[in-house]
Structure 1
Amino acid sequence: MDYTITLQPSGHAYACPPGTPVLKAGLDNGLFMPYSCRSGICRTCRATIVEGRVDYGDVHPSCLDEDDKRQGYALLCKATPLTDLVVQVNELDPSDAIRSKYMPARVLKMERAADDVMIVTLGLPMNEPTLFRAGQYLDILLQDGTRRSYSIASVPDNEGVRQVELHMRHLPGGRFTDHVFGAMKLREIHKLEIPLGSFFLREQSDKPMIMLASGTGFAPIKSLIEHALARGIRRPITLYWGGRKRTDLYLHDLAQSWADRHGHVRFVPVLSEPTPACAWTGRTGYVHLAAMEDFPDMSGHQVYACGAPVVVDAARRDYVARCGLPEDEFFADAFLTAADKR
């Protein structure tokens, strides 16, 4: 017998079969709730259980601890209902939702941007132009049914696109990235699910934007910024891109060109462990702290953050607690490896 899930404050209600995560059932019913990793790690889908009981699922205590549960929080990508539920969650406008589709894709181009970063262009079916929102991601489905998630670095088009650009970092021992940096060939075919996630530009806002990227977390930030520029959006944008060494900022010149050509865009590269070979004269330290130094008061800003979970989590915590950023103005997509998801 299905359980009834009622969302507040919208009042939307839907049926959720036993054993089905609250988030999945909601998405299947055409509702649009915040989510990203769907693995119980990034916390984008955290919501409050107002009434009823849930099985919290296999969630690590660092992502949802006992104190969180006592306060009523649950991660909707993992929580399954044990009773009917009333859930308080910040739903998104259904008009922003694009239902994901499965499709084949062909490798059209592979460009080594750094020793451990490959920019891969995938061709999509010509007879089915694909829609996505700047900042969203896709899943590559491997033959054993497992998935690898990659943010889309290219710019969307209202008429749909026929190619997407992905930035893939090599993780030695990683089954898929070993293939990408080894045996992968042009015209190779893969199966995708696209688009996914609720990380996208909130265009109805007029607030200045702080964009924070670490490593290949630059990919969706690139999509967001290029989309904003193409749309003629003039809100101030300050981009902080962090890496350990100079080669981690593999498209540094592109990012700098945005700032050079557009007066409302500022680029702040930050290295945490520069070597003498980097010949680095720019900012050093942790990238999320560099933004705090420049913006001690974020109360009137929006933040878009993407990268390693440790960076995104630290930014979320510190910007809200120490810089006055409204919690609902922090938008994030944490990059997770297959190992992170185990």
Structure 2
Amino acid sequence: MTSASPPAATFQVSVLPSGRTFSVNPDEAILPAAIRQGIGMPYGCKDGACGSCKCKKLEGQVFHGPHQSKALSAEEEAAGFILTCCGVPLSDVVLESRQVTDESAFPIKKMPSRVTALEKKSWDVMVVRLQLPANDTMRYHAGQYIEFILRDGARRSYSMANAPHTMVKADATPPVGPSIELHIRHMPGGKFTDHVFTAMKEKEILRVEGPYGSFFLREDSDKPMILLASGTGFAPIKAVIEHMQFKGITRPATLYWGGRRPGDLYLDDWVQARLADMPNLKYVPVISNAMPQDNWTGRTGFVHKAVLEDFPDLSGFQVYACGAPIVVDSARADYSAIGKLPPEEFFADSFTTEADKHRD
């Protein structure tokens, strides 16, 4: 690494073992260049805060822009790891990322959307349904997310909670545009979520862009899966479960969904209904701060630790983790160190808030 400003030059980035290559424009970071050219590299916040885009640099030099130490420590940087969201090449670069495949990216589109339904599922979770233009189709993998583009140019990211096959109602008369479902948690004082919970109305028009994200089911594996969700991290997991059911995927899957109080598991009834139709799916709800009045008799404690209690050896598993950064980061570290999970079999979407991005 270097502290000098990067020169204005175009370089080539190669990603192993997939062999994908792409060019990076002068002063451009690696990740936006990859997205622009349809290379599905892993990422989360795109702002140097979560570490989801971390890759091993095998060859070349990279200049790092501002980032948080929790996303990339000095020790990791010295060992050759980089953050592609803020890493600008100083030469041709070779990276290792086993999450990159030939079919992991769909075209990113920007389009208007119309709010068709608002349903409050708990005191701080709103299910929002959006209708996209009837003459346009957004293709995406179950588990990916979209970004709202606010009037001042700010962006807010939310996972699509429904699988792609549910977007269109084939029997609708007249035909309607594809529909997506979002689970939005209220962040008091939040520029966007305050509006969702206090002023948003049906028929409101919002600009969206997507799909984004490298979180989706790897269907070329037959390994059993752990689906780990905290709070609204359940949204992309729901889409993955819908996709599995639709495609007839019968790999063993155990869902661990954690919340502070039972009401935080805002679609518990939806999960219970899936269990009757999907014998390969198991469900373990975990509550960390149950009160006496909750009459909770299920599992308690930290949701990521419940996984290790049940599966102390994760060496033969894949893990799909979504939710608060502390849950995702703790799971990533513990499952590798204690559970012997291969790092390349941990797929995550860390729900980084604007506050998280400015906290080191």
TM-score by length of 1: 0.96
Q: Which amino acid aligns with 2:298?
A: G
Q: Residue in 1 aligned with 2:138?
A: 130
Q: Residue in 2 aligned with 1:230?
A: 246
Q: Which amino acid aligns with 2:295?
A: A
1:177 matches 2:185: no
What is the CA-CA distance between 1:155 and the residue it aligns to?
1.4
CA distance in 1, matches of 2:136, 2:79: 46
Question: The residue matched to 2:326 in structure 1 has which SS?
Answer: helix
1:36 matches 2:44: yes
What is the CA-CA distance between 1:11 and the residue it aligns to?
4.3
1:262 matches 2:278: yes
User: Gaps spanning 5+ residues in structure 2: where?
Assistant: 1-8, 169-176
CA distance in 2, matches of 1:73, 1:270: 34
Question: Which of the numbers 30, 35, 54 marks the counterpart of 2:62?
Answer: 54
Question: Which of the numbers 10, 21, 37 marks the counterpart of 1:2?
Answer: 10
Question: The residue matched to 2:355 in structure 1 has which SS?
Answer: coil
CA distance in 1, matches of 2:296, 2:236: 25
What is the CA-CA distance between 1:158 and the residue it aligns to?
9.3
Q: Residue in 1 aligned with 2:290?
A: 274
What is the CA-CA distance between 1:36 and the residue it aligns to?
2.4
1:302 matches 2:318: yes
Could you give the per-residue CA deviations for residues 99-154 of structure 1, whole angstroms, max 9, x where no partner exists?
Answer: 11000000000000001100000000011122111000000010111100000001
CA distance in 2, matches of 1:5, 1:96: 17
Question: Which of the numbers 176, 187, 193 marks the counterpart of 2:209?
Answer: 193
CA distance in 2, matches of 1:224, 1:92: 19
Specify whether residues 265 and 227 from structure 1 end up closer, same or farther in structure 2 by C-alpha distance, changes over 3 A only: same
Question: The residue matched to 1:144 in structure 2 has which SS?
Answer: coil
- Count, aligned residues: 342
Moved more, 249-258 or 177-186: 249-258
CA distance in 2, matches of 1:28, 1:175: 28
What is the CA-CA distance between 1:10 and the residue it aligns to?
4.3
Q: Residue in 2 aligned with 1:341?
A: 357
What is the CA-CA distance between 1:91 and the residue it aligns to?
5.2
Moved more, 129-138 or 307-316: 129-138
CA distance in 2, matches of 1:11, 1:264: 34
Conserved 8 A contact 2:228-2:319 = yes
Specify whether residues 268 and 11 from structure 1 end up closer, same or farther in structure 2 by C-alpha distance, changes over 3 A only: closer
Q: Residue in 2 aligned with 1:243?
A: 259
Q: Which amino acid aligns with 1:109?
A: A
Conserved 8 A contact 2:160-2:182 = yes
Conserved 8 A contact 1:129-1:159 = no
Q: Residue in 2 aligned with 1:289?
A: 305
Q: Residue in 2 aligned with 1:70?
A: 78
Question: The residue matched to 1:175 in structure 2 has which SS?
Answer: coil
Conserved 8 A contact 1:105-1:124 = yes
Conserved 8 A contact 1:306-1:332 = yes
Question: The residue matched to 1:90 in structure 2 has which SS?
Answer: coil
CA distance in 1, matches of 2:282, 2:294: 22
Q: Which amino acid aligns with 2:23?
A: A
CA distance in 1, matches of 2:102, 2:18: 12
Matches within 5 A, 1:208-227: 208-227=224-243
Could you give the per-residue CA deviations for residues 15-39 of structure 1, whole angstroms, max 9, x where no partner exists?
Answer: 2122211111122233222222212
CA distance in 1, matches of 2:130, 2:35: 26
Matches within 5 A, 1:321-336: 321-336=337-352
Conserved 8 A contact 1:48-1:74 = yes
CA distance in 1, matches of 2:225, 2:347: 11
Question: The residue matched to 2:120 in structure 1 has which SS?
Answer: strand
CA distance in 1, matches of 2:141, 2:337: 29
TM-score by length of 2: 0.91
Conserved 8 A contact 1:131-1:159 = no
CA distance in 1, matches of 2:183, 2:193: 11
CA distance in 1, matches of 2:211, 2:330: 27
Could you give the per-residue CA deviations for residues 46-90 of structure 1, whole angstroms, max 9, x where no partner exists?
Answer: 112223322211111111111111101001011112233232333
What is the CA-CA distance between 1:8 and the residue it aligns to?
3.2
Conserved 8 A contact 1:211-1:237 = yes
CA distance in 1, matches of 2:99, 2:303: 30
User: Gaps spanning 5+ residues in structure 1: where?
Assistant: none
Question: Considering only aligned residues, what root-mean-square deviation do their CA atoms show, in Å?
Answer: 1.6
